[in-house]
Structure 1
Amino acid sequence: MRLYVLARNPTDSVTEGFLPAARGLGLDVTLLTDQPGAHRRGPAREALRGMEILECDVRDFRAVISRISAHHSPGAVFTNSDHLQTQAALAAEYFGLPGKDWRVALRTKDKAQMRRHLAASGADTVWSAELSADQDPAELISLDVPFPCVVKPREGVASEDVVLVDGPGDLVRRCVEIQARRPGAALVVEEYLAGELCTLETLGDGRVRHVLGGFRTEVSPPPHFIEERMTFVPAHPEPVTAQILAQLDALGVRFGACHTEFVVAEGRARLIEVNYRAIGDQCDLLLAQLLDVPLFEHILRTHLGEPLPSDLGARTDGRALLDYPCARSSGTLTAAPRASEVTAAGVRLTYRPLREVGERHELHGTNRDFLGVVRATGTDQAAVDRAVADFLAEHHWEITP
Structure 2
Amino acid sequence: MRLYLLALNPTDSVTEGFLPAAARLGLDVTVLTDRPDAHRRICPDIEVLECDVRDFRAVITRISTHHAPDAVFTNSDHLQTQAAQAAAYFQLPGKDWRVTLRCKDKAEMRRRLTAAGADSVWSAELTEPVAPGDAPYPCVVKPREGVASEDVVRVDGPEELVAHTKEILSRRPGAVLVVEEYLPGELLTLETLGDGQVRHLLGGFRTELSAPPHFVEERLTFVAAHPEPVVAQVLEQLDALGVGFGACHTEFVVHEGRARIIEVNYRAIGDQCDLLLAGLLRIPLFEHILRTHLGEPLPADLGARQDGAARLEYPCADRAGTLVAAPDAAELDVDGVHLTYRPMRAVGERYELYRTNRDYLGVLRATGTDGATVDRAVTAFLAERHWEIQP
Normalised by the size of structure 2, how large is the TM-score? 0.99
Of 388, 392, 398 in structure 1, the residue corresponding to residue 378 of structure 2 is 388
RMSD over aligned CA atoms reads: 0.6
Asked if 1 retains the 8 angstrom alpha-carbon contact of 2:33 and 2:50, the reply is yes
Question: Does 1:16 pair with 2:16?
Answer: yes
Question: Does 1:368 pair with 2:333?
Answer: no
Summarize deviations over 1:142-185 as a string: whole Å, max 9, x none: x2100010000000000000000010000000000000111121
Q: Distance in 2 between matches of 1:219 and 1:359?
A: 26
**What residue in structure 1 maps to residue 125 of structure 2?**
130
| Paired residue secondary structure (2:161) | helix
Summarize deviations over 1:48-77 as a string: whole Å, max 9, x none: 343210000000000000000000000000
**What residue in structure 1 maps to residue 116 of structure 2?**
121
Whichever residue aligns with residue 273 of structure 1, its letter is E
Q: Which runs of 5+ in 1 are unaligned?
A: none
Normalised by the size of structure 1, how large is the TM-score? 0.97
Asked if 1 retains the 8 angstrom alpha-carbon contact of 2:316 and 2:360, the reply is yes
Question: Does 1:176 pair with 2:171?
Answer: no
| 1:2-401 superposed matches below 5 A | 2-41=2-41, 45=42, 48-132=43-127, 136-138=128-130, 140-141=131-132, 143-401=133-391
Give, in angstroms, the shift of residue 353 of structure 1: 0.3
Give, in angstroms, the shift of residue 40 of structure 1: 2.0
Summarize deviations over 1:170-217 as a string: whole Å, max 9, x none: 000000000011112100000000000000000000000000000000
Summarize deviations over 1:88-147 as a string: whole Å, max 9, x none: 000000000000000000000000000000000000000000113xxx322x34x21000
| Paired residue secondary structure (2:57) | helix
Whichever residue aligns with residue 399 of structure 1, its letter is I
Whichever residue aligns with residue 268 of structure 1, its letter is R
Give, in angstroms, the shift of residue 324 of structure 1: 0.1
Asked if 1 retains the 8 angstrom alpha-carbon contact of 2:309 and 2:374, the reply is yes
Count of aligned positions: 391
**Overall identity of the aligned pairs, in %:** 76
Give, in angstroms, the shift of residue 333 of structure 1: 0.2
Q: Distance in 1 between matches of 2:44 and 2:70?
A: 20
| Paired residue secondary structure (1:137) | coil
Q: Distance in 1 between matches of 2:373 and 2:44?
A: 38
Q: Moved runs in structure 1, 4+ residues, more than 3 A?
A: none
Q: Distance in 1 between matches of 2:203 and 2:377?
A: 22
Q: Distance in 2 between matches of 1:317 and 1:108?
A: 32
Summarize deviations over 1:15-68 as a string: whole Å, max 9, x none: 000000000000000000001111122xxx2xx343210000000000000000
Q: Distance in 1 between matches of 2:260 and 2:318?
A: 30
Whichever residue aligns with residue 117 of structure 2, its letter is G
Q: Distance in 2 between matches of 1:318 and 1:382?
A: 12
Q: Distance in 1 between matches of 2:37 and 2:149?
A: 26
Summarize deviations over 1:243-301 as a string: whole Å, max 9, x none: 00010000000100000000001110000000000000000000000000000000000
Q: Distance in 1 between matches of 2:349 and 2:72?
A: 35
Q: Which runs of 5+ in 2 are unaligned?
A: none
Q: Distance in 2 between matches of 1:281 and 1:211?
A: 20
Q: Distance in 2 between matches of 1:40 and 1:181?
A: 30
